[in-house]
Amino acid sequence: MAGNWKMFKNPAETTAFFEKFLPQVAGATHCEIVLCPPAINIPAAVAATAGSRVEVGAQNLYWKNEGAFTGEISGPMIKAAGAAWVIIGHSERRQFFGETDATVLERTKAALAAGLKPIVCVGEMLAEREAGETEAVLHQQFAGGLAGLSAEEFARVVIAYEPVWAIGTGKTATPEMAADAHRIIRGRVEAAFGGNAAAAVRILYGGSVKPDNVKGLMAQPEIDGALVGGASLEAGSFASIVNF
Ligand code: PEP
């Protein structure tokens, strides 16, 4: 169960969140729990979660380890700050910051080389779904962003299916719609990396997951977890999702 805070909270608010959140998930051993704050809050999140099962992630990384790339942060920097995960290819990065399938692949390779666990996001826009192009879009994103990894690299990747029309809109894909998309993605994994990889890969659903819809989504065997935006900002709400 992963939370994406996007561009919300400062270091003090990060510490305050974990003071409330950790006691509420102390009994949760059925899943891994990851929070991805803005990079500036990673040290506060790592300090606050020390000794707990909760892990910390970044929301993006650049694929070079260091250099004259003003404003960027690298995988080794994220790792050294104590984070274990990184979100890659979020639809907001694709829509507003020029992320492409090719740069998703670069970032994913860099994350793996740094020993980070990537959560790679795919998903169609509303117009693409309405035009019946969901499957083609997922095929293309998989082919460009993930199929170029080695089998050993792919085994360390988590995929998040996030239909863009469901992110931050309050519109959730029905559990059946989400499961259909997950089956398409798992089919791509099987074609590229084989049946064992397809059975093993974890595919998270993301898009307006809330305490009141998480149970229905998680009841689908195809759905292995959730990537949660808005509802991960409040400790009680994200704890309810984790404890679904
Ligand atoms: C997200 O940011 O990845 C996301 C799914 O957001 P929300 O839960 O707010 O739709």
Q: Find the CATH number of the domain harbouring 152.
A: 3.20.20.70
92 is catalytic: no
Q: What does the block give as tokens for 151?
A: 């089998």
Q: What does the block give as tokens for 48?
A: 């606050």
Can you tell me which atom of ligand 1 is nearest the CA of 90?
A: 3
Q: Say what the pLDDT of residue 232 is.
A: 98
Nearest CA to ligand 1 atom 1: 229
Q: Say what the pLDDT of residue 222 is.
A: 96
Nearest CA to ligand 1 atom 2: 229
Q: Say what the pLDDT of residue 172 is.
A: 84
Structural domain of residue 69, as residue ranges?
Answer: 2-242
Nearest CA to ligand 1 atom 4: 229
Q: Say what the pLDDT of residue 153 is.
A: 98
Only one residue has tokens 């939370």, namely: 3
Q: Say what the pLDDT of residue 169 is.
A: 87
Catalytically annotated residue among 32, 99, 124, 162: 162
- Beta bridge partners of residue 54, listed in sequence order: 33
Q: What does the block give as tokens for 213?
A: 């819809």
Find how far residue 215's CA is from the centre of its chain.
19
Positive/negative CA dihedral, 28, 30, 32, 33:
negative
C-alpha 4 – ligand 1 centre gap (Å): 7
Q: What does the block give as tokens for 166?
A: 């469901």
Q: How many domains does the chain fold into?
A: 1
Rounded CA separation 143/215 (Å): 31
C-alpha 68 – ligand 1 centre gap (Å): 32
Torsion of CA 131, 133, 137, 138, to 10 degrees: 130
pLDDT < 70 positions in the chain: none
Q: Say what the pLDDT of residue 53 is.
A: 96
Rounded CA separation 185/2 (Å): 19
State in Å, rounded, how far the first CA of the chain is from the last one: 10
Element (H, E) at 87: strand 85-88
| Residue to mutate (ligand 1; options 92, 162, 169, 203; most atoms within 8 A of CB) | 162
C-alpha 184 – ligand 1 centre gap (Å): 21
**In the chain, which residue ranges form alpha helices assigned H by DSSP?**
11-24, 42-49, 75-80, 91-96, 101-113, 126-130, 134-145, 151-154, 175-193, 195-200, 214-218, 235-242
Pocket of ligand 1 (CB under 6 A): 4, 6, 90, 162, 167-168, 206-209, 227-231
C-alpha 29 – ligand 1 centre gap (Å): 23
19 is catalytic: no
Positive/negative CA dihedral, 237, 233, 82, 11:
negative
Catalytically annotated residue among 90, 124, 128, 182: 90
Rounded CA separation 14/8 (Å): 9
Q: Say what the pLDDT of residue 168 is.
A: 85
C-alpha 111 – ligand 1 centre gap (Å): 22
